[in-house]
Amino acid sequence: MPRPFSPATAEQVVAAVEAAVVHRAAISARFAAEFRDLTLDQATAGLELAVDLGLLRKTGNDFEAWSPLCRYLGFNNQTVRSSAVRVVLESYEPFVLFRDRLAAAVDASDAAQQVKMTLDLVAHREDIKDTLVSLGTYCQAIDIGGGGHYKVKATAFEDALAALAAACADIDGAEAAIRDLVGNDVEAVADRDNVIVPLADGLIAARDGDGRGAVVNAGNAVESYLEAMAGRVGVNVAGAHGINAKLDRFHAQSQVIPNKLIFVGKYLGHVRNAADHGIDQDVAAAWTIRPQTGPEYVHVACSFLLSIRNREVNRPPDL
């Protein structure tokens, strides 16, 4: 039976996976396109190839993160991203066969044709070649030689594993730092996957100068925390999408979050909207998120969660 194969570039795959990681839920191709300023066709191709690579899985017409390696593709660190792609490719049959044929001194187009015929891929050989070359050069497993020729690069696979191991240490350190910032009371009621992890990813993005990534990740954490808190204190946030909409429900239905903290939360909501919503009609342009905004936003988010938790358990107000 013919095997589907979606031609795409490595950059489109990484962009598509990043959109799914940051959103932390199933995404449509249109969402991925708008998230990373791709055409709909480019986003769809990246998502479909990510499924074939085992990074995403398809649920109906949407896509969601599936592999633990997806998290590393959400980092604004090229070494970590390329290392994650390299690890994926080591078990991706079309690439392994293509690389083996290149190592046997077979021309890249001929190698792609042999991959196509061996695996019964539904794609033109040149599309297969371009896709596999893009993936291979992205993670430095393939070198481009003169005259359009390609060769296998003698880069140790252990280098990629070492880079991911270092990233794991970064993740552990970032999560520990977030737990210190939010305190034991917040940690006790905060879902790790939906609050602690995105705050930690936001801290790593901020360190790497990715202000937008820091804001989007930490903003997701704040919204998730508000949704869980609403359930604890009896506030109905059904249909309230976004931080600001949820805060409006808290303001209307409960006094557990006083006005000054509502306004702090609104800052978090508005900056997150600026980072995540493309062109703003008020200014007829998309907002640029400065690198300096990243660490500021993550720290304010942590302080906000700590302050609203203190009010929830009837401690004196603090900022």
Annotate 158-193 with DSSP letters as a single string. Answer: HHHHHHHHHHHHHHHHHHHHHHHHHHHHHHHHS-II
Is there a contact between 13 and 50 (Cβ–Cβ < 8 Å)? yes
| Measured distance CA(222)–CA(214) in Å, rounded | 12
Domain 3-78 adopts which CATH fold? Arc Repressor Mutant, subunit A (1.10.10)
At the top level of CATH, which class does the domain 166-312 belong to? Answer: mainly alpha
Q: Which residues on neighbouring strands pair with residue 62, listed in sequence order? A: 59
Is there a contact between 231 and 247 (Cβ–Cβ < 8 Å)? no
Positions of CATH 1.20.120.330 in the chain: 166-312
Note the pLDDT tens digit of each residue in 242-294.
Answer: 999 999 999 999 989 999 999 999 999 999 999 887 777 888 888 899 999 99
Note the pLDDT tens digit of each residue in 53-82.
Answer: 999 999 999 999 999 899 899 888 889 899
Nearest CA among 215, 211, 217 for reference residue 194 = 217
> For the chain, what is the radius of gyration of the CA atoms?
22
| Measured distance CA(132)–CA(150) in Å, rounded | 11
Q: What is the pLDDT along the chain (319 residues), one digit of tens a residue?
A: 788 899 999 999 999 999 998 888 899 999 999 888 899 999 999 999 999 999 999 999 999 999 989 989 988 888 989 999 999 999 999 999 999 999 887 899 999 999 999 999 999 999 999 999 999 999 989 988 766 678 887 666 667 777 777 777 888 889 999 999 999 999 999 999 999 999 999 999 898 889 999 999 999 999 999 999 999 999 999 999 999 999 999 999 998 999 999 999 999 999 999 988 777 788 888 889 999 999 999 999 999 999 999 999 999 888 8
Positions of CATH 1.10.10.10 in the chain: 3-78
